Structure 1
Amino acid sequence: MAVVITEKAADEVKRILDDQKHESDTKLRIGITAGGCSGFSYSLTLTQDFDDEKDTKYDYHGIQVVVDKKHALYLDGTTVDFYDGIDRRGFAFNNPNATRSCGCGQSFQA
């Protein structure tokens, strides 16, 4: 299984890429960092870097998504969505590997 981004999340990434005038080969890198209130925090960055040996690349709804193979163990099966409502706005992660998540949904424990 892989990391997946929804069409709504891909549309938001496209909007950001256009607004910030990124190059056409810019990719969305999804990863994790140590920290956060539950142990790991999710990371979303825009990058042009890709290493065949260290990374896996996916294409969802016209967006190239890159995941470091070391992070894939923690992110396998994760869906990244985007919410734009009256009560919240931003990217959200649904990670089946998380044994515990914080209230804001931006960090988790595996």
Structure 2
Amino acid sequence: MIHLSPAATSEIERLKRKQQPNILFRLHVRQGGCSDWIYDISFDTVVNAEDQVFDVNDIQLLIDKESIRYLDNLTVDYSEDLMGGGFRFHNPIATSTCSCGNSFAI
């Protein structure tokens, strides 16, 4: 199960309004970053055969089968600071994260 904080939900909805009407929010994990794995978010209009679709806070969330195993109980938050706004990821299965919080190790 993926969790979206109220702030993340609000920001995703704001970004979606700038896109196509029925655009989907994609969350993906790929190798990279300074801690082995990096979170990758985007919008998509295509649901691939390997995708799972979740309805989280009325947002359609796409996650491919390879990524889902790294995202169990992930909480996505959004916050703004002096350097700007950004999504924050709280992953209970990560054994370490980099200082920017966008990459992790298991």
Matches within 5 A, 1:37-76: 37-51=34-48, 53-76=49-72
SS where residue 79 of structure 2 aligns?
strand
Q: Distance in 2 between matches of 1:97 and 1:49?
A: 28
Structure 2 equivalent of residue 32 of structure 1: 29
Report the RMSD for the aligned CA atoms in angstroms. 1.5
Q: Distance in 2 between matches of 1:31 and 1:97?
A: 16
Structure 2 equivalent of residue 89 of structure 1: 85
Q: Distance in 2 between matches of 1:109 and 1:55?
A: 23
Q: Deviations over 1:52-77 (max 9, x none)?
A: x4111111222111111111111111
The percentage of counterpart residues that share the same residue type is 31
**How many aligned positions are there?**
106
Partner AA of 1:32 in structure 2: V
Structure 1 equivalent of residue 99 of structure 2: 103
Partner AA of 2:11 in structure 1: E
Query: Where do 5+ consecutive residues of structure 1 fail to align?
Result: none
Query: Where do 5+ consecutive residues of structure 2 fail to align?
Result: none
The normalised TM-score by structure 1 is 0.88
SS where residue 74 of structure 1 aligns?
coil
